[in-house]
Structure 1
Amino acid sequence: MNISLISPEVASSDNEPMIISAALKSSSAKVTELHHHSRGQLAGTLQGLMSIEVESCQWIVPATHGIWIPPNTKHSLLRSHGPFHGWSIYIQKSVCNNLPIKPCILELSSLLREAITRSMTWHNTELQPEHKRLMAVILDEISIIPQVKIALPMPKDIRLLKIALALSDNPSDDRNINEWSVWAGISRRSLTRRFTNETGFNFTEWRQKLRMLKALELLVAGKPITEVSLNLGYDNISRFIAIFRQNFGVTPGYYQKAMRNNHPWRNFTNTII
């Protein structure tokens, strides 16, 4: 489904309000074509992974994080993986000077999440001073929260991208590299070489890291660790715990407890790539 959260005219308007919030929940996957607008955009999902192209780079971003897209930066939503439940805020170009100048992944503090959620209720509402103060909080949070290297790069070769998108839809798919090469119509040798050249990871590493991104979402949602492990294709929970610790420096249980206690995410989510 190709739907924009707001019209192109509004996304490029420098009129008030300073921040425009929009959300969309759909039972089908969502895509948008390559485009740009003069407002800066912070985008994320409430559930699921999304694949985004920004300045010729293609990333997979988990629901635990958001992507900042500066004004006039070309970007597209390659697809959401499964039903779409996403949000965006669009910020006047004139107030983006203190915000990141390049696309980046942000760790979405609890304060920023709550402020954005509150702003979603302001449609067709005359903005009051308290609304504008909360907008200022949103801008402050975007300017100071840490940027993290958590997004997973997507391959560009159309055959490899087909595999990457299929795995993003179903991270537990355990077909081996030979089966994937036949399915995508590419030799195993080419798949192996191109995957490493285009993403920086070999196929096994890339799939493992994709599963870890999905694990973050499921753990934050309160899913039991055993269920998360099985949902991601690990029939050995000890192996899942070991791989999670290898990527994030803590066990899934520790991470889940820290999230419940509103612990800053920066200690865990800057080591996946």
Structure 2
Amino acid sequence: MSTALPFSIQRISHQANTSIDEHWHEQAQLLVVLHGTASLLINGERWLVLERQGIWIDKDIAHSVTYGKHSEMLLLLFSAAKCEVPSKPFYFSNLLLELLEEALRVYDTADVSQALALINPLILYCITNSQHDGQLHLLGGSDRRLTRAIACLNQQPGIWLNLVELANHAGCSAKTLSRLFTAETGISFIQWREKFSIMTAMERLAQGQSVSQVALDLGYQSVGNFSTMFSRVMKIPPGKFTITAAKGYIAATDH
């Protein structure tokens, strides 16, 4: 990126089930998902970024990304930006989208330096004042036994291991694993597993999978059981779940 420009911008796309290994940037990064979904692992924490959401990642922060369906996004790298926002998804406004489209339009023109100098503070203002979301987020842990347990769940979301069975995979007792979940994620194993199921379901529903297929893949004995759980947490049946519905749910429950 030229040092004369406050940021670079490019439109990129990835095919379904594309994974990008852990990496980092020397500049702060803004990832905006126009179509599709992105699942990021940042410092051992999983973040789900849905369509019409963006996420800010500070410079030198290691992260990996998986795109569950064909996804189109905008990637911005900022040369010296300071944006006092957490690395969590936010819903981008029509104003921010117009600013990004204008930045793309002028990027290869002679007026790029002057235009981006004007657009840059407006983009940062929009990010700072957007509706940020901490709901689509799962804490990980640093203890190797907990990371082994979580890796096992991620690899087999449809197999419902109980705490004793999962502890055997992790190489510790059920009591120890239960304590680790509470101490390092802030919630119990049961609560973590339910949130894991919700996030996985939201991602797959957003990718266009049917309710019955999602329920089957997540190991539920019936579609009814899955729908009951999803409706209780999301306040909307999975069959009616859309990105717009998710936005309304998060806005209503965000604290």
Is the structural similarity TM-score above 0.5? yes
Whether 2:91 is the aligned partner of 1:103: answer no
TM-score (norm 2): 0.74
Query: What stretches of structure 1 of length at least 5 have no aligned partner?
Result: 1-9
**Structure 2 matches for 1:202-217, cutoff 5 A?**
202-217=188-203
Q: Measured at CA, do residues 108 and 124 of structure 1 come closer, stay the same or move farther in structure 2, by a change above 3 Å?
A: same
Q: Measured at CA, do residues 245 and 135 of structure 1 come closer, stay the same or move farther in structure 2, by a change above 3 Å?
A: farther
Q: Between the two proteins, what is the percent identity of the paired residues?
A: 22
Deviation per residue, 1:205-245 (Å, 9 max, x gap): 21211121122222223322222222222222222222222
Q: Measured at CA, do residues 237 and 215 of structure 1 come closer, stay the same or move farther in structure 2, by a change above 3 Å?
A: same
Rounded Cα–Cα distance in structure 1 between residues aligned with 2:132 and 2:30: 13
The aligned length equals 245
Rounded Cα–Cα distance in structure 1 between residues aligned with 2:13 and 2:147: 26
Rounded Cα–Cα distance in structure 2 between residues aligned with 1:139 and 1:83: 28
Q: What residue identity is the alignment partner of 1:32?
A: E
**Structure 2 matches for 1:141-152, cutoff 5 A?**
141-150=126-135, 151-152=137-138
Alignment match, 1:245: 231
SS across alignment from 1:163: helix
Deviation per residue, 1:242-264 (Å, 9 max, x gap): 222232222223333xx3xxx37
Q: Measured at CA, do residues 239 and 44 of structure 1 come closer, stay the same or move farther in structure 2, by a change above 3 Å?
A: farther
Q: Work out whether residues 49 and 55 of structure 2, in 8 Å CA contact, stay in contact via their aligned partners in 1.
A: no
**Cα RMSD, aligned residues only:** 3.8
Q: What residue identity is the alignment partner of 2:138?
A: L
Whether 2:45 is the aligned partner of 1:59: answer yes
Q: Measured at CA, do residues 78 and 187 of structure 1 come closer, stay the same or move farther in structure 2, by a change above 3 Å?
A: farther
Rounded Cα–Cα distance in structure 2 between residues aligned with 1:163 and 1:81: 23
Q: What residue identity is the alignment partner of 1:237?
A: V
Deviation for aligned residue 1:199: 0.4
Query: What stretches of structure 2 of length at least 5 have no aligned partner?
Result: none
Rounded Cα–Cα distance in structure 2 between residues aligned with 1:272 and 1:206: 18
Q: Measured at CA, do residues 83 and 234 of structure 1 come closer, stay the same or move farther in structure 2, by a change above 3 Å?
A: same
Alignment match, 1:19: 8
Whether 2:159 is the aligned partner of 1:173: answer yes
Deviation for aligned residue 1:116: 9.4
Whether 2:36 is the aligned partner of 1:50: answer no
Rounded Cα–Cα distance in structure 2 between residues aligned with 1:17 and 1:189: 52
Whether 2:163 is the aligned partner of 1:182: answer no
Rounded Cα–Cα distance in structure 2 between residues aligned with 1:265 and 1:197: 29
Q: Work out whether residues 96 and 126 of structure 2, in 8 Å CA contact, stay in contact via their aligned partners in 1.
A: no
Q: Measured at CA, do residues 124 and 102 of structure 1 come closer, stay the same or move farther in structure 2, by a change above 3 Å?
A: closer
Q: Work out whether residues 31 and 55 of structure 2, in 8 Å CA contact, stay in contact via their aligned partners in 1.
A: yes
SS across alignment from 1:105: coil
Alignment match, 1:6: none
Deviation per residue, 1:80-111 (Å, 9 max, x gap): 488996856334355x45x4x14231233374
Rounded Cα–Cα distance in structure 1 between residues aligned with 2:145 and 2:63: 19
**Structure 2 matches for 1:82-121, cutoff 5 A?**
89-94=75-80, 96-97=81-82, 99=83, 101-109=84-92, 111=94
